[in-house]
Amino acid sequence: MLADSDMPLPPIMVHRATMRVIDGMHRIRAARLRGDTEIWGNFFDGTTEAAFVLAVKANVTHGLPLSLRDRTAAAEQIITSHPHWSDRAIGTTAGLSAKTVAGVRRRLAAYDATSARVGRDGRVRPLNSADGRLRVVELLREQPDAPLRAIAKLASVSPSTAWDVRNRVRRGEGPIGSSASSRATAPTLVREESPVSHSDVTPVLRGLARDPSLRLSASGRRLLQWLHSRAVRNGEWRRYVDEIPPHSTYTVADVARRCADEWLRLADALDRRKARSA
C-alpha cells in the first residue's frame, strides 16, 4: 500500500482554476496516513470540462476500477460537453466500447445536430463520407492545379481520401465507392480507407532494383536504398500494434499519418512531373 511505503508519492494533478484534485485522491489519503503535510503536484490549466475528461481517463487507465455505472455516467457527461467526439474516442476515455457509447448517445439530445465527429487522433471527419468526396470533385474542377493537401483541407477530408477521389475521376469512375455510398445513409463514424493497394510492395521494389538506370548509377542506388529502408511491407505493422504502450498510441498514430502524408506529397510531385512531361 502507498501508506506503507517510504518512497516519495507520485505527483497529483490539480485543476488550477478550481483547485480540485483531478488525479491523486488516494495518494492524498496515503500521505495523510503517513503524517505527511506536503505532496508534490502538477497544475492543469484547461477548462472544467477538459479537467473532467482528464480525471476520467486517469481513473480508467491507472486508478481504482470504476463501476460500469460510473463509466456510463462519465460517458454521458463527456457526450454532453463534447458532442462532436466520436463514440470510439469517448469509449477510450471512459473505458467503454464504442457500441455502448453509441447506445448512451442515442439516449441523449446533445447528439442530434452534429454533422461531424472528432476522432481519437483529433481530426474532424464528416458523418456522411459522400459529401466530402463530392466536395473534392468540385474543388478539383475549380482548382485543377491546387496541391492535393489543400484540396483535402478545404473539403474536410483526409489527403488519402482526396487522392482516392482524384484517381477515381481520372479512371472515369464515380468519386464514391460502393462501401462509401452505403455508409453515407447511416449516421456513423466514417473510417477513412487508404486508397493504396493492399498488395505487397516487395515485388515492385525488386523490379525497381533490376532497372539498369537505377542499379548502375550512384543516384539510382541511393534512391533504391532510401526506398527499401522506408517502405512498409504488407501487414508488417500488425506485429507492432499490441507492443505500443497505451499512452503512446496517439503519438505513434500521429507519426504514421505524418509519414503517410509525406508519401502522398511524393506521389503528388511525381504525378505533376509526369503531367508536365506528357
Whether 170 maps to a domain, the answer reads yes
Whether 232 maps to a domain, the answer reads no
The two beta strands, 20-23 and 41-44, are: unpaired
Note whether 136 and 100 are same-domain residues: no
Structure-derived torsion over alpha carbons of residues 185, 187, 188, 193, reported in degrees to the nearest 10: 40
Residue 111 has a pLDDT of 42
Degrees (nearest 5) of the Cα angle 252, 256, 258? 115
SS3 64: coil
Residue 184 has a pLDDT of 41
SS3 44: strand
Please identify, among 81, 98, 118, the residue that sits at the C-terminal boundary of a domain: 118
Give dist(CA 124, CA 153) in Å, integer: 11
> What count of Cα atoms within 13 Å lies in the side-chain half-sphere of residue 10?
8
Degrees (nearest 5) of the Cα angle 22, 71, 82? 70
Note whether 38 and 86 are same-domain residues: yes
Whether 245 maps to a domain, the answer reads no
Please identify, among 134, 161, 183, the residue that sits at the C-terminal boundary of a domain: 183
Note whether 25 and 96 are same-domain residues: yes
Note whether 104 and 152 are same-domain residues: no
- Ranges under pLDDT 50 in the chain: 110-113, 179-198
Residue 140 has a pLDDT of 86
The cell numbers describing 3, all together, are: 501508506
Note whether 30 and 103 are same-domain residues: yes
Whether 235 maps to a domain, the answer reads no
Whether 79 maps to a domain, the answer reads yes
Note whether 84 and 150 are same-domain residues: no
Note whether 92 and 131 are same-domain residues: no
Which helix (H) or strand (E) segment holds residue 22: the answer is strand 20-23
Its domain, for residue 93, covers 2-118
Residue 9 has a pLDDT of 82
| Residue 118 bridge partners (DSSP) | 85, 124
Whether 175 maps to a domain, the answer reads yes
Residue 77 has a pLDDT of 85
Give residues with Cβ within 8 angstroms of 219, minimum separation 6.
none
| 110-150 tens-digit pLDDT | 444 455 555 655 565 565 567 788 888 888 888 887 888 88
Q: How far is CA 232 from the centre of its chain?
A: 19
Q: What CATH number is attached to the domain comprising 131?
A: 1.10.10
Note whether 20 and 47 are same-domain residues: yes
Residue 64 has a pLDDT of 64
Residue 188 has a pLDDT of 37
